Amino acid sequence: MRFPYNEKVLEHFKNPRNVGKIENPDGKAIVGSPACGDMVAVFIKVEPTEHRIIDAKFESYGCASNIATGSIITELAKGKTIEEAKLISWQQASEALGGLPKIKGHCSVLAVEGLREAITNYEEKHGLVKNKEPTTAEVIKRRLKNVMNPITGLDIVRGELVKDIRIENGNVDIYVDLPEAHIFAGNIRDEVKERVETLWDVKKVEIHFNDQ
């Protein structure tokens, strides 16, 4: 038998560690999308005095290297402070797995991004963001790059579904070019809210569909 990955990667692929969700996580992130292929969700539980990660879990809609990286990265993150965990790189994850094929970098780097975004999410929710840039339409657009329209496989920014973004006194209004009855309207609304509401100076987020 001649498999495309080394023994260690295969072992993590067959028996991934830390799989699943954490109920009421202190931080979470979903990165990637069905469009670029792979998608990873990362959940963390953080001890609040030292900001140490006491539990980390992941879910993957991805290929073998994506699953194996999700497994190793959650292992590496556990027990580290968020500052330490932020520094975990793709190279470290790959080394810990005994080496991933370079061409698979883009699938496996997602898990690393997922962990970093889950930490950012934790920081935002707990008022730990140091760099407090005021929220602008650009900041929101960056956030929305991970919200997908599953029908086209494009994110809602590139797919030109975001028609307008208005920000006033912490109230954000986002105008989406879809009817409210669209089958993914609910999903898209929830995802947009989730990603924008945590911004430090945002109080309320409203999504407006094109028939409202």
Residues near another protein, by CB under 8 A: 1, 3-5, 10, 13-14, 16, 19-21, 30, 34-41, 59-64, 66-67, 103-104, 106-107, 150-153, 186-187
Active-site option among 10, 19, 36, 157: 36
Within the chain, residue ranges assigned H as helices are: 7-14, 64-77, 82-86, 90-96, 105-125, 137-144, 185-197
Residue 3 vs 160, nearer CB to another protein? 3
Active site residue 63: no
**Torsion, CA 108, CA 114, CA 116, CA 119, rounded to 10:** -150
CA-CA distance, 182 to 188, in Å (whole number)?
10
Residue 152 vs 171, nearer CB to another protein? 152
- Which is nearest to 20 in space by CA: 5, 1, 42? 42
Number of C-beta neighbours around residue 175 at 10 A:
16
Which one-letter DSSP state was computed for residue 104?
Answer: G
Minimum Å distance from CB 207 to another protein?
Answer: 17
Active-site option among 42, 82, 96, 107: 107
Residue 137 vs 154, nearer CB to another protein? 154
Minimum Å distance from CB 168 to another protein?
Answer: 32
Q: Is 50 in contact with 84 (CB distance < 8 Å)?
A: no
Residue 52 vs 158, nearer CB to another protein? 158
Minimum Å distance from CB 17 to another protein?
Answer: 11
Minimum Å distance from CB 33 to another protein?
Answer: 8
Active site residue 107: yes
Q: Is 77 in contact with 88 (CB distance < 8 Å)?
A: yes
Amino acid (one-letter) located at 173: D
Residues assigned a catalytic role: 36, 107
